[in-house]
Structure 1
Amino acid sequence: MIPITCRFSRLSHHFDNTEVFNDISATLSSNLTGLLGRNGQGKSVLMALLAQAMPASAGTIAWSQPFHWVQQTQRLQGPRIAEALGVAVWYDCFQRIESGGANDQDFSLVADLWHLPAQWGRVLQEAGLDLPLSTPITHLSGGEQTRVALCRAFLLDDHYLLLDEPSNHLDTGGRKWLATKLSAHSAGALVITHDRDLLHRVDHILELDTHGLHEYGGNYAIYRSIRDAQLAATEQQVNTLKKEQLKQKRAQQQELEKTAQRRKQGEQLRRSGSQSKLLLDAKKGKAESNFGKLKQQQQQRSGELTNKLSATQSALEAIKPQTFHIANQARRKSLCLHMSDLVLPYVTVPPLSITVRAGERWHIKGKNGSGKSTLLRIIAGLEQAKTGICKVYGDCLYLDQHFSLLDGEQSAL
């Protein structure tokens, strides 16, 4: 039996009067677990609570081993790679020893740690980072910074890892490296991700939605098959309830028409004088009483159907995959962007020549550090190319990978 690493019970959290999630419980073990959920559902909040970065509104969290949290943003601390890896004290000590400026305290500090420089170099090399630990963090691309943050996590081989969107900003090679390292990390990890390839490698899945936290054994393929079956069954249930609701409305309408017809017949008999007024009044009273009871029953049944349909539609909305539709632009293929023999700073790549017209969507693909973000910054007018032409026709909005466009002090509205 796999030992339990973390147990959280009846966990609830809210901001002001807004509930994020309520009364969720689960256990984490030394395997690879994926945490799924729609954007804004509270996945990062749950991970922050598990990392004890803030207190929960209610509930308990108990850890049986150390853990390390890699956030979705603000992943690195310190000016150099050495600080980002959390090894600056030992790195600087080794540098003083190598340069001949060390003292007795330096040698005492690294007495049994002579293997560390080789270990740091190996971890960085595996991540595709052939860089000295003295490299400033500001010289790294977003993808390279993500790799450094993950390298620090993988150096802690006895720590359970809490990783929030770790494959963000990684290129194809970086994602393969991440998947390999996670598979080899025996202490286990909880990973928030929308990366399908990574989710196919997990042993267990937790899903957070408006109805709580749900557990699924197995990887994404198993999870998806279960969810597809649930989706089909729930959609069928919604259709059945809608048909039943329509059938009831028709029956109610037919009953109203029958009642109106009987009333008309009663009035005709009353005017003809063929039956006594006393008998007609008795029949009318009985009919109205029966109709009142029937109407009450129909209203009760209608209310039950409406509530059941609403609950089922809510469940359907929770399990239905999110889709994002991009509206088609105007058919006019007016010129939006023209680049000719553009030479990027900082990197060595061939000159770029591109023409983009309205309605076109381009995917810029390349290794981390190859200049993709630099290219976008040049287009946005935030950087200068070495040489070449870059002309934008019309307005341009630049959303960087750190969401600098957003003001953290303001609300969404």
Structure 2
Amino acid sequence: MNCLLLTSTTKEIMLIIDNISYIHQDKEVLFTHLNFSLRQGAKAALIGNNGAGKSTLLKLIAGLHTPNTGQIRSVESPYYIPQILDQYQDKTVAEALQVAHKLHAFYEILAGNASEEHMLMLDDDWSLEERCHDAFTRWDLKGVNLNDKMATLSGGQKSRVFLAGIHIHQAKFIIMDEPSNHLDNQGRQLLYAYIEQTAATLLIVSHDRTLLNLLDTMYELSKEGIKTYGGNYDFYAEQKDAERNALGDHIQAMEKDLRKAKEKERAVAERQQKLDARGKKKQEKAGVARIMMNTLRNNAENSSAKSKQVHSNKTNNIGEELSSLRMQRADIDKMKFGFERTSLHQGKVLFELTHVNHQYEAQAVWSDKLNLKITSGERIALKGKNGSGKTTFIRLLLGALTPATGSIFRTAIETVYIDQDYSLLNDALSVYEQAEDFNDGALQEHDIKIRLDRFLFNKESWNKSVAALSGGERMRLALCCLTISNNAPELLVLDEPTNNLDIQNIEILTAAIQQYQGTLLVVSHDAYFLNQIAITREIELVGSSS
């Protein structure tokens, strides 16, 4: 732990980030001279685009990394909940929670082995076992034991284990990195309730906008540093919209100024040419000596050049400022989705499930057989707890599985299924090759590259391997490919599409889906996202073990 404890004179402040800089091992400068503070009892979010350094900053605060310059000072040692939990696979639950040694000492003392070593290890923490039990009950960790291996738990259970650690360690300062990523709706509700009720200081990195609306401060991290917005996410979004609108107005005004400057530059040049030509004729008619004519011509040319340079400088300055302003525009404003309208009429039956169920090892997936229809134009959210069979439902619907009981009627339609990993993309291809692979409409090479550029893939990334793309980049490439394809899918199936995306990329995805006019089936625990894409119907699945 490299955080320094604050003195009592700054008791109202929980955390001070003082002029820190951090450089990755690959020499990439992530941020420099970063400064901000967090008051005690604050419930704050750290937001920003992918690559801004949010997770790294949390690790610096947690003491897992050391800043290259500056200091991090806090009143309390933070309790850290990481985003990636795979590194704990070989540990027991107790080891992952860093209570294994204390619990061992506790049990040894109860067994009569009250050695000095065990007493020192326990440190009078006689309520530890009871707190573990209470915390597991609070976070609904039924059937999970402290001696279980983390590798045997689901992603949602692992997340709940670390959330339970808040109460086990009686943490007063908690930092969390995407805590709701693997939680089902029930788990998210428990997390939201905790955030609303706690008096602890919170600093959270999250793209879950329902969660972000429970917080009171947004810290936006970018290459320019940290900018503070008081209020929850909705207030932050309003402020960003206002900034974006002001920027748009400024760009329009500068574009108008640039047009006027160019017109004036052209008019001045034309007028000067006419004056020069008229002056030359007068001089020739008046019989002015050649040497004098050369002198007059040079003076006129120098005067003309100076005037031209003045207007050229003005035009260039406006152009440079305009280019700088355009660079500040949000990436989503630069995109053109242009999804084709599907040919299906509204209300046509696409699927009909009659008495459908499936089995794994003779165990039925759902408590009741499924009887339902899906018609064209619907926007459906597929809901259910973790393990309720949502992925099985999709695979049955798309014909990848055969139901154990019942039947499924399917209309022949064009379907695109986008899972959490965007595996409709081919990792063996380059970005350009992947786009070309969807080119059903015989677009020319330059047209494909224009569309790639609209989705933020510039010429430096056209030869980049698809396998090397981040989650947000894979999502943008998938959307780009759908706009390149000449055939709009009649059915678009999305499985947890916002997982592992930052807010910027979620907004891009949301804007694309809002423009899509076909039938939509979405698996998501993100209530904010579902509301934005105008879901019209919910299908709730209940697993047989629920």
- TM bin, normalised by shorter chain, reads 0.7 to 0.9
Q: How do 1:401-412 and structure 2 match up within 5 A?
A: 411-412=468-469
- Counterpart residue number, 2:274: 261
| 1:269-321 Cα deviation digits (max 9, x unpaired) | 355x2352466545433322221111221222223212222222233338x78
Cα distance between partner residues in 2 of 1:398 and 1:181 = 30
| 1:156-194 Cα deviation digits (max 9, x unpaired) | 333421211111122233222212223444331210112
Cα distance between partner residues in 1 of 2:351 and 2:386 = 27
For residue 316 of structure 1, give the secondary structure of its aligned residue in structure 2.
coil
Cα distance between partner residues in 2 of 1:180 and 1:170 = 14
TM-score by length of 1: 0.78
More divergent stretch after superposition (67-76 vs 391-400): 391-400
- Counterpart residue number, 2:174: 161
2:286 to 274, 286, 294: 274
- Counterpart residue number, 2:137: 125
Q: Is the 8 A contact 1:343 1:351 kept in 2?
A: no
Matched, 1:64 2:80: no
- Counterpart residue number, 1:26: 36
- Counterpart residue number, 1:85: 97
- Counterpart residue number, 1:313: 326
Q: Is the 8 A contact 1:144 1:368 kept in 2?
A: no
Alpha-carbon deviation of 1:397? 7.6
Structure 2 counterpart of 1:10, one-letter code: N
2:21 to 2, 7, 12: 12
Cα distance between partner residues in 2 of 1:374 and 1:66 = 44
- Counterpart residue number, 1:366: 384
Q: Is the 8 A contact 2:244 2:330 kept in 1?
A: no
Matched, 1:291 2:304: yes
Cα distance between partner residues in 2 of 1:406 and 1:156 = 43
Structure 1 counterpart of 2:15, one-letter code: C
Q: Percent identity?
A: 25
Q: How do 1:194-233 and structure 2 match up within 5 A?
A: 194-233=207-246
1:352–1:326 Cα change, 3 Å: farther
1:212–1:113 Cα change, 3 Å: closer
1:240 to 253, 275, 292: 253
| 1:30-78 Cα deviation digits (max 9, x unpaired) | 2111011112222112222222222334333223321122111126735
1:309–1:358 Cα change, 3 Å: same
1:254–1:323 Cα change, 3 Å: closer
Cα distance between partner residues in 2 of 1:26 and 1:209 = 13
- Counterpart residue number, 1:343: 359
Q: Is the 8 A contact 2:219 2:226 kept in 1?
A: yes
Gaps of 5+ in 2: 1-9, 429-466, 471-546
Q: Is the 8 A contact 1:72 1:165 kept in 2?
A: yes
| 1:111-149 Cα deviation digits (max 9, x unpaired) | 955543332232222222222424443443322221112
Cα distance between partner residues in 2 of 1:82 and 1:41 = 33
Structure 1 counterpart of 2:55, one-letter code: S
Cα distance between partner residues in 2 of 1:50 and 1:60 = 10
Aligned length: 402
Q: Is the 8 A contact 2:14 2:75 kept in 1?
A: yes
For residue 219 of structure 2, give the secondary structure of its aligned residue in structure 1.
strand
Q: Is the 8 A contact 1:342 1:389 kept in 2?
A: no
- Counterpart residue number, 1:54: 65
Cα distance between partner residues in 2 of 1:375 and 1:87 = 40
- Counterpart residue number, 1:300: 313
Cα distance between partner residues in 1 of 2:16 and 2:427 = 35
Q: Is the 8 A contact 2:396 2:403 kept in 1?
A: no
1:212–1:111 Cα change, 3 Å: closer
Aligned-residue CA RMSD (Å): 4.3
Gaps of 5+ in 1: none
Cα distance between partner residues in 2 of 1:222 and 1:396 = 34
For residue 182 of structure 1, give the secondary structure of its aligned residue in structure 2.
helix
- Counterpart residue number, 2:47: 36
Q: Is the 8 A contact 1:51 1:69 kept in 2?
A: yes
1:97–1:126 Cα change, 3 Å: same
1:191–1:371 Cα change, 3 Å: same
